[in-house]
Amino acid sequence: MDLAFPHVCLWTLLAFVLTWTVFYVNNRRKKVAKLPDAATEVRRDGDADVIIVGAGVGGSALAYALAKDGRRVHVIERDMREPVRMMGEFMQPGGRLLLSKLGLEDCLEGIDEQIATGLAVYKDGQKALVSFPEDNDFPYEPTGRAFYNGRFVQRLRQKASSLPTVQLEEGTVKSLIEEKGVIKGVTYKNSAGEETTAFAPLTVVCDGCYSNLRRSVNDNNAEVISYQVGYVSKNCQLEDPEKLKLIMSKPSFTMLYQISSTDVRCVMEIFPGNIPSISNGEMAVYLKNTMAPQVPPELRKIFLKGIDEGAQIKAMPTKRMEATLSEKQGVIVLGDAFNMRHPAIASGMMVVLSDILILRRLLQPLRNLSDANKVSEVIKSFYVIRKPMSATVNTLGNAFSQVLIASTDEAKEAMRQGCFDYLSSGGFRTSGMMALLGGMNPRPLSLIFHLCGITLSSIGQLLSPFPSPLGIWHSLRLFGAEGVSQMLSPAYAAAYRKSYMTATAL
């Protein structure tokens, strides 16, 4: 009897503790279930899944791609009128392939677009015709398209806005809405002049090279390296219009290409500090007296036509900017607001289309975008996976532009001649280089191979007809500029392959 009472008390106490524990844990679970995770944004009714700032090539294409995946997309564009731009007028074959993968290939149709099969390269009276190669590994027609940029952008906008889950609105975004390092949406002024806000779990800044939001996301600054000066000669057609005309002129390259059945774009590169005034007519005089004599006779009449007829001459800064990953959550930057390279190889649109394809595929497994941590992991993966395409194009664009600059330096001029000789030599050298330029083979190792080939061709120029001390010195300078250790060291080669060639291919 004496032992029974303590046992009863112990069992009663144990039952009470267990009951209280179960009750407490159950209540805690209910409270946790009612409270959103700190990294989860509670979406308001009517809010979009994604806000896109800018409806240019990148913004419009991304809006269409995400909407096709069932996302609700709110696009805010400063000016819905057809853009009048001098850049973004040529789509490489690789860009056309990416456009088709997004289901947007028809946007390059019906805008008086012009077929481009390759280049006609001119240097010191020499001429080389080079074409984009037929390649069984490239699953698309190996031709580019030249066009008026504004017509293409309007077609993309129309296609995006045709989807019911895309809201395309004219407005000026003033700032990003940020809370504790997470971007929640944007503040913008609509077409009526009213300041309002929009919220979404993911904001994409895609407002171009003059982006005023980039600094809110990262501290990346664009470097102005030169200016592209150009105009349109109307009511004329180039001889062999399917070849873009690349002239190795001074101080840098000049290009002529057909952007419609009747119009020819004339554009050249001029460096800061030597830019004549457009407003007082100095530029027109400079183009006629300095640039026109360098244009081959068969192209000179068309080059002069636009100047003589008073075509509007424009100058646009050429900018270079490396891509950097933002530490802020809920936001990603794309297009020229994110990464810029020299436009010598006309590949900016190709890079942003590649980025859109990668980002879209990474986001597809996420049912919603409310978990900021998961979206941040996607953005980090995107930054790595984009490297094979972007690194190849950026390096090629910047390297090719440097080769095109005229110089009194014997080594640099040898590199220029070596590039011309390499492109015009035919065989695997020409086809390989044109595949790189056309975005048909964006592989870093292929780029290294052909850059080394151009360097060796340049060295051959310096050492011909027989080696001299000065020629050998200039040759060593060329090797040094390319980076001997990076070119020849097995360790560097392995690290390069590990960094770029193991990434998921498109």
DSSP per-residue codes, 18-87: HHHHHHHHHHHHHHHHHSPPTTB--PPTT--SEEEE--SHHHHHHHHHHHHTT--EEEEES--SPP--SS
On whether 44 is known to bind a ligand per the annotation, the reply is no
Please state, for a pLDDT cut of 70, what percent of the chain lies above it: 81
Give me the helix-helix angle, 469-482 and 410-424, nearest 10°: 70
Least confident segment among 56-60, 155-159, 284-288, 455-459: 455-459
Average pLDDT on 331-351 reads 92
Is residue 377 pLDDT above 60, yes or no? Answer: yes
Tell whether 154 is covered by a domain: yes
Residues 283 and 355 in one domain: no
Least confident segment among 220-234, 253-267, 410-424: 410-424
Tell whether 45 is covered by a domain: no
pLDDT of residue 16: 54
Residues 95 and 203 in one domain: yes
Domain endpoint, select from 261, 293, 319: 319
| Cα 198 to Cα 186: distance, rounded to the nearest angstrom | 5
pLDDT of residue 181: 86
Is residue 288 pLDDT above 90, yes or no? Answer: yes
On whether 103 is known to bind a ligand per the annotation, the reply is no
pLDDT of residue 323: 86
pLDDT of residue 47: 85
Task: Judge contact between 207 and 336, C-beta under 8 A.
Answer: no
Pairing of strands 50-53, 202-205: parallel
On whether 316 is known to bind a ligand per the annotation, the reply is no
pLDDT of residue 44: 55
Tell whether 130 is covered by a domain: no
Residues 79 and 206 in one domain: yes
pLDDT of residue 9: 52
Residues 411 and 280 in one domain: no
Residues 314 and 398 in one domain: no
19-76 tens-digit pLDDT = 555 555 455 544 433 334 434 444 455 689 999 999 999 999 999 999 999 999 999 9
pTM attached to this predicted model: 0.83
pLDDT bracket for residue 212 (50, 70, 90):
confident
Task: Judge contact between 76 and 51, C-beta under 8 A.
Answer: yes
**Vertex 474: Cα angle to 472 and 476 (nearest 5):** 70
- Please give the helix or strand (H or E) that residue 353 lies within, else none: helix 348-363
Least confident segment among 4-8, 354-358, 362-366: 4-8
Mean pLDDT score across all residues of the chain: 84
Residue 276 buriedness (CB in 10 A; 0-12 / 13-18 / 19+): middle
Q: Report how far apart, in Å, the C-alpha atoms of 116 and of each of 168, 198, 269, 491 are.
A: 32, 42, 22, 40
Tell whether 134 is covered by a domain: no
| Cα 317 to Cα 312: distance, rounded to the nearest angstrom | 17
On whether 28 is known to bind a ligand per the annotation, the reply is no
Is residue 273 pLDDT above 50, yes or no? Answer: yes
pLDDT of residue 248: 97
Residues 193 and 90 in one domain: yes
Domain endpoint, select from 345, 367, 386: 386
| Structure tokens, 390 | 């972007």
Residues 239 and 215 in one domain: no
Average pLDDT on 211-235 reads 91
Least confident segment among 100-109, 283-292, 467-476: 467-476
On whether 58 is known to bind a ligand per the annotation, the reply is yes
| Cα 233 to Cα 427: distance, rounded to the nearest angstrom | 35
Residues 93 and 175 in one domain: yes
Tell whether 142 is covered by a domain: no
pLDDT of residue 403: 87
Residue ranges making up the domain that contains 13: 1-35
Average pLDDT on 480-491 reads 40
Give me the helix-helix angle, 348-363 and 387-403, nearest 10°: 170
Is residue 467 pLDDT above 70, yes or no? Answer: no
pLDDT of residue 387: 83
Is residue 183 pLDDT above 50, yes or no? Answer: yes
Average pLDDT on 130-141 reads 90
Is residue 13 pLDDT above 60, yes or no? Answer: no
Tell whether 5 is covered by a domain: yes
Q: Report how far apart, in Å, the C-alpha atoms of 294 and of each of 123, 268, 289 are.
A: 9, 12, 9
Residues 231 and 276 in one domain: yes
Give me the helix-helix angle, 348-363 and 372-385, nearest 10°: 140
Q: Report how far apart, in Å, the C-alpha atoms of 245 and of each of 108, 120, 153, 248, 464 are.
A: 21, 5, 24, 10, 29
Domain endpoint, select from 361, 386, 411: 386
On whether 90 is known to bind a ligand per the annotation, the reply is yes
Please state, for a pLDDT cut of 90, what percent of the chain lies above it: 61
Q: What is the CATH number of the domain that holds 270?
A: 3.30.9.10
pLDDT of residue 322: 86
pLDDT of residue 274: 76
- Residue entry with tokens 């980002």: 359
Q: Report how far apart, in Å, the C-alpha atoms of 447 and of each of 173, 322, 357, 428, 452 are.
A: 39, 19, 22, 13, 8
Residues 212 and 232 in one domain: no
On whether 349 is known to bind a ligand per the annotation, the reply is yes
Residue among 250, 231, 371 nearest 302 (CA): 231
Average pLDDT on 179-199 reads 95
89-116 tens-digit pLDDT = 999 999 999 999 999 999 999 999 999 9
Q: How many domains does the chain have?
A: 4
Least confident segment among 39-43, 216-220, 429-433, 502-506: 502-506
Task: Judge contact between 183 and 41, C-beta under 8 A.
Answer: no
Is residue 441 pLDDT above 90, yes or no? Answer: no
pLDDT of residue 489: 39
pLDDT of residue 135: 84
For residue 255, the cross-strand partners are 246, 267
Residue among 386, 372, 487, 373 nearest 442 (CA): 386
Tell whether 103 is covered by a domain: yes
